Structure 1
Amino acid sequence: MSREVRALLHILVGAAVLHISLFSELYLRYVRRGLRPYLIASGALLVVVGLVGAAAAARELLRPVRDGHDVHGGHDAHEAHGGHDAQDGHDAHDAHHGHGHGTPRTAWLLLLPVLAIYLLQPQALGAYTAQHSDSTTVRPAAATGGFAPLPATGPVPMRLADFDARAVWDTGGSLKGRQVVLTGFATPGPGAGGWYLTRLTITCCAADALTSKVEIGGGDAPPKGAWVEVTGHWQPDGRTGQDSAVPVLTADRVRRITEPGDPYE
């Protein structure tokens, strides 16, 4: 790959990274919020490397023009004494690099990921991923470090993963009689009209996403993938006490909302 193409790719990839991290929050579809400074630094570094490479390539292209003019003896003197050697050197340069500065056509395929960011803007993981994922964030209390007391007043906004952990593992029953507010998207559940409120949790990026879900009772099922806010009460006689259990929430209110700027927990 020629130096010019490498410089162009560095600049375009760096600009794409800056586009999603510095000038917008599209990066939240791919990684967690705490990684933003690293993305900005990486994008800026790629742009700088590309600009340095472009400047070096420009000097390389202009060098034969400057060398062809003898500031002491004129252009004719250069041709008389060095023209043949220059031609031989140019031929050797072309032979070494494979017909000059030609670039394999396949190298331009590296632009496809950049174009995808600008033109397609892939969406965050959602209902399809959750339905086909076997991984969950429900963990024993020992793994979560125990459960802190809930606020005395309600309803209590909670992360869906935290609600799952309390419903399954909190032997103190901190959820009993408490009204909670959960946010997520709808996925199909068991039986006709059944549905889950679902959310994806990431540790680093979308590639390690884990699924949290709660079976909702007492509310009409929203369209698959629709984002909703559910206010309700934990159903103690739901399926609890096992790692594979899915807690049940009796809905008092289901409200449609727009997708959050940060779709992951």
Structure 2
Amino acid sequence: MAAVSVREHPGPRPHLRLRLRPQGVLLILCGSALLRIALFSELYLRYVKEGLRPYLVVSGGVLIALGLLGLLARTHDEDEDEDEGYEEEGGDGESDDEAADPDRPDAHAHAHDHAHTRNPRIAWLLTAPALALLLFPPPALGSYSAEREEARVSAQGAGTFPELPAGDPLDLTLGAFASRAEWDTGASLKGRTVRLTGFVTRDDDGAWSVARLRVTCCAADAQALKVEIRGEDAPAADTWVTVTGTWHPTGKPGTDAARPVLDAVSVKRTKAPSDPYEKR
């Protein structure tokens, strides 16, 4: 009776392997981008409100941790590939000669399947957007968004507003100026010199406005606030400016004719603030 030689399986050898996988790299890049904008800078203010910063930091840390676990963990496919080297000779499994035979009809298909399982090279293309997000964070919303949405004000209906603080020029938010210009029957803006800060938007008819976006939670729910500027030439679109001037009445408060308009006496360029959105 012919002897059958059997190679004993040495058993599992648990250890961690560091192997680059697109899934793990993608998670690490996304997590690093979140930490860059939220932990190491104030870029997150372009996209969300200040109070959401801790959640962004925690999310970035979790994504990086999951990505590292994905790079270190051994996959089920790797374990099966290692076990293929410990098959019985002369048993029910394939012999070494059979496995190495290139003329076997299924040999090419077997190698092709393993090539696709172990080398998903096209999946690395998914890391390109994440790498771009890490290196080049998107800018804050600007004139493109403001031009496509009408200003919404917090006041509900016409009425008398509280008196403004003493002193000219008076710094006002665009929301406060627009509300009083459109709804204040007491004309509290009359005779006052105000100062507004925002970015420039330009209309097709040649008119221009100073604008700012107001967010409730994040940039996805941004609302545009615009004040038309008269008496001064328009800077380039998206330029941040501080405009000083006086209120220009356009119609009865509470009607469609009442619009926020400012007669400018000076327009000065200014640096964009770290938080480009206007608070409620």
Contact 2:199 2:239 in 1 (8 A): yes
Structure 2 vs 1, CA of residues 46 and 190 (structure 1 numbering), >3 Å: closer, same or farther?
Answer: closer
Under a length normalisation based on structure 1, what TM-score does the superposition of the two structures give? 0.77
Contact 2:172 2:194 in 1 (8 A): yes
Q: Alpha-carbon deviation of 1:234?
A: 0.9
Contact 2:250 2:259 in 1 (8 A): no
The equivalent residue for 1:10 is 27
Q: Which amino acid aligns with 2:35?
A: L
Q: Alpha-carbon deviation of 1:85?
A: 6.4
The equivalent residue for 2:67 is 50
Under a length normalisation based on structure 2, what TM-score does the superposition of the two structures give? 0.73
The equivalent residue for 1:73 is none
Q: Alpha-carbon deviation of 1:109?
A: 3.2
Q: Alpha-carbon deviation of 1:187?
A: 1.6
Contact 2:21 2:71 in 1 (8 A): yes
Q: Alpha-carbon deviation of 1:115?
A: 2.0
1:217 counterpart = 2:233 = no
CA distance in 1, matches of 2:276, 2:56: 19
Q: Which amino acid aligns with 1:50?
A: G
CA distance in 1, matches of 2:257, 2:43: 33
Alignment of 1:150-161 (within 5 A): 150-161=164-175
In structure 2, stretches of 5+ residues that fail to align are: 1-18, 100-108
Q: Write 1 or 2 for the structure with the bigger share of helix.
A: 1
Correspondent of 1:30 among 47, 62, 81: 47
Alignment of 1:45-124 (within 5 A): 45-57=62-74, 98-99=113-114, 101-124=117-140
Structure 2 vs 1, CA of residues 57 and 9 (structure 1 numbering), >3 Å: closer, same or farther?
Answer: farther
Contact 1:214 1:249 in 2 (8 A): yes
Structure 2 vs 1, CA of residues 171 and 85 (structure 1 numbering), >3 Å: closer, same or farther?
Answer: farther
Structure 2 vs 1, CA of residues 63 and 80 (structure 1 numbering), >3 Å: closer, same or farther?
Answer: closer
Q: Helix, strand or coil: the match of 2:194?
A: strand
Q: Helix, strand or coil: the match of 1:141?
A: coil
Contact 1:18 1:39 in 2 (8 A): yes
Q: Helix, strand or coil: the match of 1:99?
A: helix
Cα RMSD between the aligned structures?
Answer: 3.7
The equivalent residue for 2:176 is 162
The equivalent residue for 1:175 is 189
Q: Alpha-carbon deviation of 1:41?
A: 0.8
Identity rate, percent: 48
The equivalent residue for 2:244 is 231
Q: Alpha-carbon deviation of 1:238?
A: 5.4
The equivalent residue for 2:8 is none
Contact 2:181 2:258 in 1 (8 A): no
Structure 2 vs 1, CA of residues 19 and 240 (structure 1 numbering), >3 Å: closer, same or farther?
Answer: same
Structure 2 vs 1, CA of residues 10 and 198 (structure 1 numbering), >3 Å: closer, same or farther?
Answer: same
Q: Helix, strand or coil: the match of 1:182?
A: strand
Structure 2 vs 1, CA of residues 207 and 199 (structure 1 numbering), >3 Å: closer, same or farther?
Answer: same
